[in-house]
Chains A and B, each alone.
Chain A
């Protein structure tokens, strides 16, 4: 990953065509002040950002997106707004060589942040130097009840899959399903599958069923790889009696399963088995089918 100063420079290069000279002059002046450890400048300018640069969409070009990924693996600020990007630039401009002091400064910003500020701060997680120093903060972000803040950690963010322990990761995935946000924008969702998460998800599915509540079809995505006998039995039921979305989801889960019975269970639903071998199903088609339902 590039150093903070290089990241700031890259982001600054995207703004020339997107901000007027007055806004750019303000930003350059503030970045300079913040880089000289001026904490007050950081706190105040961070709050002022939307009124200085507006809230337009960033709409990066393909070339700019590639530059982002080259600077930081799996970083995709394409859907960020301009104020969010500028806020990221400001916090990355503050000296961070003393990690404890840097985290303390950030803590003060997190604990006094308004919604928009919190989103920007959590989106910046994958860019902070000394990544492990920010794990507790990221886990705190997962505990929020503000959905947009939760998504700033969970969605389009490589930090959790790289840094979270299994327990932290599993809480995040379960909470996605609990608060009804999609797993598709979660980076590393298949790679971080684990047996304990599989059990948690199947328990959750049973809980929902007992309460006569719908079970999100995406839940089965975290079940497939490590499915045990109980999970295979559930997948079989969903595959043969579920909605269109659920049948697709169960088929996809079974197709990734290491359980010896998975193949024969899938074969019991010839239509879905055929679609799997033809590559017609994906978690995107599951979402589309669920929405249509």
Chain B
């Protein structure tokens, strides 16, 4: 089976991780702009970070036959530095229309301060202006209220739910998100977010429609193989293959292809110019590799 990991922070990961992803069938990844574990203090740091997402990191992924996309935005945590955040707002238009930028994100709330709210709204307006989908980061703390508030603000700004992916859902939030028509993403991230056994239980109840599985693997203790591991566990626990394909591949393509910057053909049948410049020959369609997920069942459980 082929996979997309539509939320993963590869700038924090090693080449070993790229090899694991490629060998496990992950064909494309989306790297949302986010904070890097420590607040930036200069606008130049943002510019270089954004540039690396569309430049160096895209090339690095391509060396492993993985197609790299990104989302652009100012995360809610760093939005609290108001003076700097204003400068980032001036910088973002330069990056939003670049090739391979598939959404505005990840944006939303962290502490749910008035300043976060201000820049969340500004970026929703930018997304509307350039016609890009939006990726919403829901807060770790006061999650349920923060999630509902995000949805209310999105509706207030008149962005249709099919253009919005709400991420980091859990058992308490997903029903409302699905009922109101949004793409509902789950982050399989040990300890703090969702485990893959819980994910499979949710799938049994919620079904696959508009559900998206991702890893959000980053600089913390996280798992780059969260998507393929969840797919494997779901299969073992009786979820039909076509449903697994939806939540681990097709739904992400459907959601982000609305950007016009994300199609399956990009990695299955890339343009000649991309093959020449980004994939160095045949590395994009390497066949015959066996997944590297360990056979031992326990190793595939993420709690």
Contacts of A43 in B (CB 8 A): 94
Which residue in A44, A81, A112, A116 is a CB contact (below 8 Å) of B99? A116
Q: 8 Å CB contacts to B: which residues of A119-147?
A: 119, 145-147
Query: In the complex where A51-B260, A146-B56, A146-B59 touch, is A114 in contact with B98 (Cβ < 8 A)?
Result: yes
Interface centre among B51, B54, B97, B277 (most CB of A within 10 A): B277
Contacts of A44 in B (CB 8 A): 93, 97
> Which label, helix, strand, loop or mixed, suits the secondary structure of the B interface?
helix
> Which label, helix, strand, loop or mixed, suits the secondary structure of the A interface?
helix
Query: In the complex where A114-B98, A115-B58, A147-B280 touch, is A81 in contact with B47 (Cβ < 8 A)?
Result: no
A181 to chain B, nearest CB (A): 10
The chain A residue sitting closest to B58, CB to CB, is A115
Interface 0/1 of B265-296, CB less than 8 Å to A: 00000011110111010000000000000000
Which residue in A47, A115, A119 is a CB contact (below 8 Å) of B97? A47
A58 to chain B, nearest CB (A): 10
A-B contact count, CB below 8 Å?
66
Residue A118 at the chain B interface, CB threshold 8 Å: yes
Contacts of B47 in A (CB 8 A): 111-112
Number of interface residues of A (CB under 8 A): 26
Query: A48 to B97, Cβ gap below 8 A?
Result: yes
Alpha-carbon distance between A13 and B303 when the two chains are bound, in angstroms: 61
The chain A residue sitting closest to B54, CB to CB, is A114
Contacts of A56 in B (CB 8 A): 271
Contacts A112-B94, A148-B59 known; 4 new A-B pairs at CB < 8 A: A47-B99, A114-B51, A115-B58, A147-B59
Q: Residues on B close to A: CB < 8 A?
A: 47, 50-51, 54-56, 58-59, 93-95, 97-100, 260-261, 271-274, 276-278, 280
8 A-B pairs with the lowest CB-CB distances in the bound complex, closest first: A114-B54, A81-B273, A148-B277, A55-B271, A47-B97, A146-B59, A47-B98, A114-B98
Q: List 22 A-B contacts (CB under 8 A).
A: A47-B98, A50-B99, A51-B99, A51-B260, A55-B274, A81-B271, A81-B272, A111-B47, A112-B50, A112-B95, A113-B55, A114-B51, A114-B54, A114-B99, A114-B100, A115-B55, A117-B98, A119-B277, A145-B59, A146-B56, A147-B280, A148-B278
